[in-house]
Structure 1
Amino acid sequence: MSPTQVNLSEKLALFSEHWSPRIVADFNGHDIMLAKLKGEFPWHKHDDTDDFFLVVKGEITIETENGNVPLKEGELYVVPKGVQHRPVAREEAHVLLIETAGEPNTGDAATAAEKIRI
C-alpha cells in the first residue's frame, strides 16, 4: 500500500456545513477530523477521553467551566476529560479535531452529529 498524504485545504474544500466533523485519517484508534465552526456549540463533556482542538484557520474560543481559552490560527488546546466545554466561533473557523474513534462529538450518541469519512 502506497503512503498517501492528507491535504487539509483540499479536504476542507469538500464540504461547507458547520459543526459536521469529517474524518480524514485514523491514528492509533483515534479519528482525525476536520470541521468548520460558526456560532456556538452546545455545552457538553467527554467522561472518558480528552478533546483535542487545533485551529487551522480563523479564531475560536473554547469556553469551559474553568474559564475561556481563546485560540488563534496555529494554536491548539486539549480539553481534559470530564470538563464541561463548548467551542464558539464568531466567524467561520476551520479546526482539526482528534477524538477516540466512535466518541460522539457531544459526549452523548443521542445528540451527536454524524461523523462522515472523506
Structure 2
Amino acid sequence: MEKVNLAEKLALVDDFWHPRVVAELNGQHVKVVKLAGPFVWHQHEREDELFLVVRGELRMELRDRSIELREGELLVVPRGVEHRPVAEREVEVLLFEPAGTLNTGNVRDERTVDAPERI
C-alpha cells in the first residue's frame, strides 16, 4: 500500500492523450493523462468512464450537447454514449475505468494505447 501524489505523477507526463496507470482497485484503473486539442469521437460498449479535472478545463462533446468541466469537477460517461473530449488548452485529468478499457473505445487510430504504462 503506497500513497499516490497526483502532482508528482502528472509531472512525469510530457505528452498528450497517453494515459498512465497510477493505481488499481476492484478491477478499475486509476489513470492520469494530459489532454490538449480535440480527441476522436468514440464510445465504450461495456465500460463507463469517469473524468475528473485536476487542472484546467475540459469540454466533453456529446452528439446532442457539450458539458464544460472545470478543476475539481467530474463527469461519468455511461457505456455506449458517443463522446469526444476537447481541451482548448492543456488540461490534467484523472480517469477511473475498468482495467483493459481502450482509450479510443471502438476506434483504433494513432492515439490508441493498448497497454498503458504504470507510473
- Classify the TM-score, shorter chain: over 0.9
Structure 1 position 116 matched with structure 2 position 114: no
Does the 8 Å CA contact 2:51/2:75 hold for their aligned counterparts? Answer: yes
SS in 2 for 1:9: helix
- 2:20: which partner in 1? 22
Instruction: Extract unaligned runs of 5+ from structure 2.
Output: none
Structure 1 position 53 matched with structure 2 position 51: yes
Structure 1 position 9 matched with structure 2 position 7: yes
Distance 2:107 2:65 in 1: 26
User: 1:9-60, CA deviations, whole angstroms, 9 ceiling, x for partnerless residues?
Assistant: 0001112100000000001001100000000000000011111100000000
List structure 1 segments (4+ residues) > 6 angstroms apart after TM superposition. none
Supply the RMSD in Å over aligned alpha carbons.
1.2
Letter of the 1:82 counterpart: G
Query: Is the strand fraction higher in 1 or 2?
Result: 1
Structure 1 position 76 matched with structure 2 position 74: yes
TM-score w.r.t. length of structure 2: 0.93
Structure 1 position 33 matched with structure 2 position 34: no
After TM superposition, give the deviation of residue 99 of structure 1 in Å.
1.2
SS in 2 for 1:26: strand
Distance 1:77 1:18 in 2: 20
After TM superposition, give the deviation of residue 102 of structure 1 in Å.
0.6
Kindly tell me the number of residue pairs found equivalent between the two proteins.
Answer: 116
Letter of the 1:69 counterpart: I
Letter of the 1:49 counterpart: E
2:65 to 64, 67, 77: 67
After TM superposition, give the deviation of residue 109 of structure 1 in Å.
7.3
Identity %: 49
TM-score w.r.t. length of structure 1: 0.93
